[in-house]
Every structure is written in C-alpha cells, then in structure tokens.
C-alpha cells in the first residue's frame, strides 16, 4: 500500500490508449533494428514510454474543449491573444513571440543575441540550447555549482549558478564578451535539479552590475516553483503562481518549450522586456516559424497551451506530479539502485557509472543500460551522458561529462503508481545482474545532436 506521503492522482481517467507488451525475442529484434538507440524504437513496440516528458503529456478536458474553439486565422487569432495575455500575466514579461517548440525560441534568441566569440555561461548545458549557441559562434561555459556533477551530493538547490564561477568569467573575458547568462529552471541534465529564489536574485544583482542580460530556460518553471515552496524558507505559504512571477522578475526574458510544464503536445515561445529585441524577433520569426501571431502553431494548439499554463499552477496537480517521480526514485533507492540525488521533478536518473562499473565511459554505459532496460522490460528510457554530450566543435574530441545517466522521464498525467512499480521492479532486477550488460560502440555517428539518430552495436 502506498505511503500517505505520495498523493493519489488528482484527476479521473476519461479516455484510454491500449498498449501491448512484445515478448523478449520481439524486443531483442526491435532494439537491434533500432541500432541500440531507444530514440529509433517504434512507439507501438514500447510498453511504458519514459523516453521524454516533452510533448507526451495527457491534456485535460478543458484543453480538449479549447482545441474545438481554435481560430485558424493566419494573423491575429483570438487564441493568440489569449496565449499572449496568459504568458504576460503568469511570467510578467512585456513581449511574447510564439514558436513551434522550445528550440525555435532558442534559435531566435541565439541568432539575435550572440556575436561570434561571445560566451553563453549557464547552469549546465542542454543539448539543443548549446547547439544553437555554438552554431551562432557562442562559447558555452558551465557555471553550475560543483555538486550538480556529483550524483551522491545532497543539496536542495543543486541547479544553482556558482556566483564565483560567473564572476571569474566576467573578470577573465570582460562583460562585453558575454552575450547573456542562460539560467535553466530546472536543470535537466543534472537530474531535474531546481534553482533557489535566493540564487536567481543574486545572479540578477551581479549581472545588473555588469549590464549583462539573463535569459531563463523556463521549460519546467512549475516544478522549480514547487521545490522553492517545499524547500526555501519564506515561500512555504506562497502560491505557485506568486513564486513563478517572482522567479521571472529576475530575468530579461526566457525561452520556453510548452511541451513540458505547459501541458501540451506542441508549442513554445520566446519572451523579453527589450523592445528592440522584440522587434527584431518579430522579423526573424516570420522566416523560421511563421507570423508573429502564430509562430508555427495552429490556433487550437495556442489555446491548449494557454489553458495548460494556468492548470500547471494548481498546487494539487504539481504536488502529485513531483511526488509521483519521487515515489519511483524512493523505491529504487531503497533497493540500492544508484540514482541521482536529490530526486528531481520530471525524471529519475540512474547513475550508469555506478550501475555498470565494469564499463568505461568510452564503452557508453548509459546508452548500453538504456538499451538493456528496454530489452528486459519493454520500458523505454534515454541516455544522458557522453553520447548526448557530443563532440567539441573545435577539437572534434568527445565531451566527457562527469555525469553518465539514464533518464526515466515521467510524462505528465499519463501513468499511475502501478506503472512506477513495474518500472522499479525491472530496473532492480537488471541491477542485480548488471555485470552482464555489454558496452556499445558507434556504427553511425551524426555530426549534430548525435544522440537522436546514432546507431550502435555491442562490443
């Protein structure tokens, strides 16, 4: 029986999607055909899909009702005006540009804000973010606190920016060589770790002194706000909406993937307070996304996103969302499975280095573990280690991150605690026989964002 600290789902099921479990021989054929890359598996061959929480949300009845009032006008639809007013109210920025998803916003911001040779320091990299920054001549610099790179370190706000690292970079290269600071809430590749309000405020004070702009990766804003309410003194009685508004008051703008905390299957936006950047963004969005009043989105999707943003601020929803993830992590931790701690807000991250100590990093332990989990259980997860990190654009050598993780990512409002139990049992059984996991090697390696399309074979 579930401990009372894990709340029941705050919703009722209205529609279901049937799934099937392939037998082991069929799963073996599927993973070999996929080149041991879980991104290349067919959805119908997956039993429980924990590949990502991006666009895999279950929408509410209100969102589906909003779909039916989509105004598909090419310009100035009522759904755009609803989304714009919602974003301004919740996030507090003056200007909003819609995009088809978060990387569309990253593309616009990078093209308009980075001059070749400028630095884009951030609290750990994210794959598409760093790609857009580097593709436009930027130089990424990791300024997250050291504990973020240690799966065993316990810190309630492990996603914080290290102010001394940021100050040192400013002193070394000069403020004019920094395009902007990229602050992610939460930090995905650190295991979904949050950033404290105190840290955001301190980053704002430091950057303001040097006239450096700060842009947030706002993808999981509601999860970060929940952690602040749960862990930071003085915020326990604040609403999620109040906390979110204060969070973004310390930023000059943000990029947003609506496919996560906005509870939709597609969508995103770019926000800013600078009018000149807004006007230039309006020009560029037409080239890459669409009119500034739809940005690559149908009216119905903008309506669903506006509704989803408001639903994400409901405390009972976000409490269940974070604690369902924590439940899976707690079950694994109690069984001795090595995971990233503290447990984050959107996923449980297995520590592949400790899970597979017999494999070197060059043998791709996280990729191998993700493939093994699918083979043995039909559960799809994903690698977040040396494969995701890619290669240095200057030397061509592999980035070798300290973290070698497998992400078990929980879609919002999709699975139950029973599904979490099944996943836990599968991972625990694999951990007991981890020495049997074989390393992998590349047989096809794309030049960009290789983790999506790369293919491997067992060594």
Known catalytic residues are 74, 126-127, 217, 260, 384, 451
Question: Would you say 285 and 68 are in contact if contact means Cβ atoms under 8 Å apart?
Answer: no
Phi and psi dihedrals of 270, rounded to 5?
-120, 130
Nearest to 159 by CA among 175, 170, 143: 143
Per the listing, tokens 């884009």 go with 120
Question: Would you say 180 and 120 are in contact if contact means Cβ atoms under 8 Å apart?
Answer: yes
Q: Residue 86 has which token pair?
A: 């919602």
Q: What is the DSSP letter of 176?
A: G
Question: Would you say 261 and 219 are in contact if contact means Cβ atoms under 8 Å apart?
Answer: yes
3-class secondary-structure state, position 106: helix
Separation of alpha carbons 359 and 151, rounded Å = 18
Separation of alpha carbons 227 and 17, rounded Å = 32
Separation of alpha carbons 204 and 254, rounded Å = 14
- Residues in CB range of 97: below 8 A, 6 or more apart: 105, 108, 269, 270, 271, 278, 281, 282, 285, 292, 295
Question: Would you say 332 and 428 are in contact if contact means Cβ atoms under 8 Å apart?
Answer: yes
Q: Residue 49 has which token pair?
A: 């899909």
Taking phi first (over 0 means left), then psi (-120 to 50 degrees means alpha), and beta for anything else, what does residue 117 get?
left
Question: Would you say 346 and 422 are in contact if contact means Cβ atoms under 8 Å apart?
Answer: no
Peptide bond connecting 342 to the previous residue in cis, omega within 30 degrees of 0: yes
> How long a stretch of residues is the chain?
459
- Give the CA diameter of the chain: 62
Nearest to 150 by CA among 353, 399, 332: 353
Nearest to 417 by CA among 344, 341, 306, 321: 321
């Amino acid at each position: 029986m579930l401990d009372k600290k894990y709340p029941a789902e705050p919703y009722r099921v209205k529609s279901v999607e049937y799934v099937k479990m392939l037998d082991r021989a069929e799963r073996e054929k599927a993973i070999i055909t996929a080149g041991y890359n879980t991104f290349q598996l067919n959805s119908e061959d997956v039993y429980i899909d924990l590949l990502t929480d991006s666009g895999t949300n279950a929408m509410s009845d209100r969102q589906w009702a909003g779909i039916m009032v989509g105004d598909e006008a090419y310009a100035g639809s009522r759904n755009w005006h609803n989304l714009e007013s919602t974003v301004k109210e919740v996030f507090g920025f003056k200007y909003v540009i819609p995009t088809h998803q978060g990387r569309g916003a990253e593309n616009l911001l990078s093209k308009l804000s980075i001059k070749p040779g400028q630095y884009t320091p951030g609290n750990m990299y994210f794959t598409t973010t760093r790609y857009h920054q580097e593709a436009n001549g930027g130089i990424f610099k990791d300024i997250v606190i050291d504990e973020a790179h240690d799966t065993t370190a316990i810190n309630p706000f492990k996603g914080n920016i290290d102010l001394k690292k940021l100050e040192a970079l400013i002193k070394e290269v000069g403020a004019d060589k920094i395009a902007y600071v990229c602050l992610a809430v939460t930090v995905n590749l650190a295991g979904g770790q949050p950033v404290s309000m105190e840290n955001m405020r301190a980053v704002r004070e430091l950057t303001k002194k040097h006239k450096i702009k700060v842009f947030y990766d706002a993808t999981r804003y509601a999860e970060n706000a929940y952690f602040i309410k749960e862990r930071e003194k003085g915020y326990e009685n604040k609403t999620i909406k109040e906390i979110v508004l204060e969070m973004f008051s310390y930023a000059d703008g943000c990029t947003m993937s609506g496919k996560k905390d906005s509870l939709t299957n597609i969508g995103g936006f770019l926000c800013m307070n600078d009018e000149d950047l807004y006007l230039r963004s309006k020009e560029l969005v037409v080239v890459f996304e669409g009119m500034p009043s739809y940005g690559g989105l149908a009216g119905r999707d903008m309506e669903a996103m506006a509704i989803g943003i408001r639903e994400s601020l409901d405390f009972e929803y976000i409490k269940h969302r974070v604690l369902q993830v924590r439940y899976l992590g707690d079950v694994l931790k109690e069984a001795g499975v090595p995971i990233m701690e503290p447990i984050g807000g959107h996923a449980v991250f297995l520590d592949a280095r400790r899970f597979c100590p017999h494999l070197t990093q060059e043998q791709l332990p996280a990729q191998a573990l993700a493939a093994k989990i699918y083979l043995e259980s039909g559960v799809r997860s994903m690698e977040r280690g040396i494969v995701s990190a890619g290669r240095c654009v200057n030397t061509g050598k592999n980035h070798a991150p300290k973290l070698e993780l497998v992400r078990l990512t929980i879609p919002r409002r999709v699975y139950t605690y029973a599904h979490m139990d099944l996943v836990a049992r599968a991972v625990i059984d694999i951990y007991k026989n981890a020495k049997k996991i074989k390393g992998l090697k590349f047989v096809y390696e794309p030049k960009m964002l290789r983790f999506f399309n790369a293919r491997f074979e067992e060594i």
